[in-house]
Chain A
Amino acid sequence: AQSVTQLGSHVSVSEGALVLLRCNYSSSVPPYLFWYVQYPNQGLQLLLKYTTGATLVKGINGFEAEFKKSETSFHLTKPSAHMSDAAEYFCAVKGVQGAQKLVFGQGTRLTINP
């Protein structure tokens, strides 16, 4: 079974500041990990994913995330926030084998202050 915890349902940062969105997972099997972004009244867009190999993965819009097995974490970062980054962000996990479904965290709403 898998589960995801996103620490902080709301995060607010200033434009140009570091963005850090936290995600911890639980999985009984090796995980695949994902970050999705959702803009108001839209579907989810894949930001980045970890499957195998390099633990630091880079995604679109300048985001990156690092898979840390020892900490069961997959935190999302961006060095400099932009106003257009304001959105809801979801971390998700699925098992390498078995069930295909994604298990999502509760989401983190990111607000960017000018």
Chain B
Amino acid sequence: NAGVMQNPRHLVRRRGQEARLRCSPMKGHSHVYWYRQLPEEGLKFMVYLQKENIIDESGMPKERFSAEFPKEGPSILRIQQVVRGDSAAYFCASSRDVYEQYFGPGTRLTVT
């Protein structure tokens, strides 16, 4: 039973480019969460999605960031016009119920 999958594992973008991060939840999981980890900091919640719905986006920056979880395919976190401050590790987690969230290996975004 495969775990949460994220790709790419490492992503380098120049300032102003777009970054697309993908997350495939564990089989049978319909809840997806995105977290961001800045260097030397804990994880900060960004957004919580269920299939085709954004449930809680209270942690998402107001501009440039968007997320989706379509009926078919992985969840996508999209960052437009990246800036150096977007450099971080982005983790996706999935859950089947209200208890445990299972985390993927993360995507490490570097903005040059």
Nearest CB of B to A3, in Å: 11
A101 with B45, Cβ < 8 A, contacts A43-B91, A44-B91 known? yes
A36 with B103, Cβ < 8 A, contacts A44-B43, A90-B43 known? yes
Which DSSP category, helix, strand, loop or mixed, fits chain B's interface?
strand
A90 pairs with B42, CB closer than 8 A: yes
Which DSSP category, helix, strand, loop or mixed, fits chain A's interface?
loop
By a CB distance below 8 angstroms, the chain B residues around A100 are 31, 33, 48, 55-56, 95, 98
Nearest CB of B to A51, in Å: 6
Q: How many residues of A contact B (CB 8 A)?
A: 22
Judge if B27 is at the interface, Cβ distance under 8 Å: no
By a CB distance below 8 angstroms, the chain B residues around A36 are 103
Q: Which of B56, B100, B106 contacts A101 (CB 8 A)?
A: B56
B103 pairs with A43, CB closer than 8 A: yes
Tell me the complex Cα distance, A102–B98, Å.
Answer: 11
Chain A interface (Cβ < 8 Å from any Cβ of B): 32, 34, 36, 41-46, 49, 51, 90, 96, 99-107
Chain B interface (Cβ < 8 Å from any Cβ of A): 4, 31, 33, 35, 41-45, 48, 55-56, 58-59, 91, 93, 95, 98-106, 108
